[in-house]
Chains A and B, each alone.
Chain A
Amino acid sequence: MASLKALKIRIGSVKSTQKITKAMKMVAAAKLRRAQEAAVAGRPYAERLEAVVASLARNVGVGASPLMAGTGKDQVHMLVVATSERGLAGAFNTNIVRAARRKAEELEAAGKTVVFYLAGKKGRVLRRFYPKGIAVDRDLSEMKVAGFDHAKAIADDLIARFEAGEFDVAHLFYARFQSALVQEPVAQQIIPVAIPASAAPKLANSGDATVAYEPSEEAILADLLPRNVAIQIFRALLENAASEQGSRMTAMDNATRNAGDMIKRLSIQYNRARQAAITTELVEIISGAEAL
């Protein structure tokens, strides 16, 4: 049995670990609220933009822009993996990376070439599995709050690479925020733009056919499609920010509770050891007195 002193030290160390995890949980909870609000506030724009792109696609046809129609090939796939900058967030990053790896394996099995675009430091574990497949490794550590400008920078970079012919299809990986307990990793095709099936049927009496475009359908499309890519990435960053905090909060809550259990167990062990020591001492005194 461990000595009394060793047990005491052990209990002290678990207690201070518990203090840290508890503090992290509280910080995550406070940040979560803000991140969640931002994610919710960003949804209307993305939804409306999606609707506009869908209605344009119906009216103009898909042949108008490579961002909509694709390059005509399906060989090189770019996987944009959005992760967080920090760990200790439970399975948050692992889940996203796993989803990306699964997709990559699937594509490679089908004979496609896969390259990665890492947005966030925690995606770097992919280097181990695809040492040559990392096209871009973007550090987001300077990003305290997900801003549209960050998303736009990534989107501009991505579109420039697309136009340079580096890849044919781009997928975006992030974790959609559902609740503090549930964050669902999702894969989304962003280039060429995926027209949601729900938006495809024409609205009965919306009079879509008579929509006037200024300056022209093509000009609007040329403006809209890159914007749509940026918005999808922005949405991913926002959802990720909320998911990260939610995941961290849950993970730290579990850690705090585990530490509590451990302290309880160690305390019992400590008290037993102490009692055993006292009993031994008493036995020694009594048997000493009887011997006289």
Chain B
Amino acid sequence: MLHFELVTPERLVRSDEVYMVTVPGADGDFAVLEGHAPFMSTIRDGDVLVQKTQGGAPETIAIRGGFAEVNARGLTVLAEHTG
């Protein structure tokens, strides 16, 4: 499973083990699975899709401004606003 964290300046919105997350990167959407190579990208305003299980219905979280970081511990999305 992929460790996924969504953080805004106000609070930690989400900290979960999930299957896959699709992030709206500045240069295009990208999906992150477990074991993704280290990666850092700014994000554009859009929706983060969180899939808890393989083939499960994705949950949509709207985010605005920020960036995403993938490292050995998982995916961290630092967004300015959510919802």
Q: Which residues of A contact B (CB under 8 A)?
A: 38, 41-42, 44-46, 48-49, 52, 56, 148, 151, 205-208, 210-215, 219-220, 223-224, 227, 231, 234
Determine whether the beta carbon of B37 is less than 8 Å from that of A212: yes
B41 beta carbon closer than 8 Å to chain A = yes
Tell me the bound Cα distance from A51 to B64 in angstroms.
21
Whether the Cβ atoms of A41 and B11 lie closer than 8 Å is yes
Q: Is there contact, CB below 8 Å, between A207 and B72?
A: yes
A42 touches B10 (CB 8 A): yes
Known: A56-B40, A207-B72, A212-B39. 11 other contacts (CB 8 A): A44-B12, A52-B40, A52-B67, A148-B80, A208-B38, A211-B71, A212-B37, A213-B39, A213-B41, A214-B26, A223-B67
Taking CB atoms and an 8 Å cut-off, the chain B residues in 57-83 that contact chain A are 66-67, 69, 71-72, 76, 78, 80-81
Interface-central residue, A45, A48, A205, A211, by most chain B CB under 10 Å: A45
Q: Tell me if B12 and A41 are in contact (CB < 8 A).
A: yes
| 22 A–B contacts from the bound complex (CB under 8 Å) | A41-B12, A42-B9, A44-B5, A45-B7, A45-B8, A48-B69, A52-B40, A52-B67, A148-B8, A148-B80, A148-B81, A205-B72, A211-B39, A212-B37, A212-B39, A214-B25, A215-B26, A215-B27, A215-B42, A220-B67, A231-B9, A234-B9
The contact size tier of chain B is 20 to 34
Q: How many A-B residue pairs have CB under 8 A?
A: 79
Cα-based distance from A224 to B69 in the complex (angstroms): 12
Q: Assuming A48-B76, A206-B71, A223-B67, is B7 touching A214 (CB within 8 A)?
A: no
Interface centre among A56, A205, A213 (most CB of B within 10 A): A213
Q: How far is B73's CA from A207's CA once the two chains are assembled, in angstroms?
A: 12
- In the bound assembly, the distance between CA atoms of A34 and B22 in angstroms comes to 34
| Interface of chain A, main secondary structure | helix
B40 touches A214 (CB 8 A): yes
For the complex formed, measure the closest distance between the CB of A238 and the CB atoms of chain B, giving whole angstroms. 9
Q: CA separation between A146 and B1, bound complex, in Å?
A: 36
- Contacts of B67 on A, CB cut-off 8 Å? 52, 220, 223-224
Q: Which residue of B has the minimal Cβ distance to A49? A: B78
Task: Establish whether residues A148 and B9, one from each chain, have CB atoms under 8 Å apart when the complex forms.
Answer: yes
Binary A-proximity of B23-42 (CB < 8 A = 1, otherwise 0):
00111000000000111111
A41 to B38, CA, bound (A): 27
Given contacts A148-B80, A223-B67, whether A213 and B9 have CB atoms under 8 Å apart is no
In contact, B38 and A42 (Cβ under 8 angstroms): no
**A-B CB proximity, top 3 nearest:** A41-B11, A214-B41, A211-B38
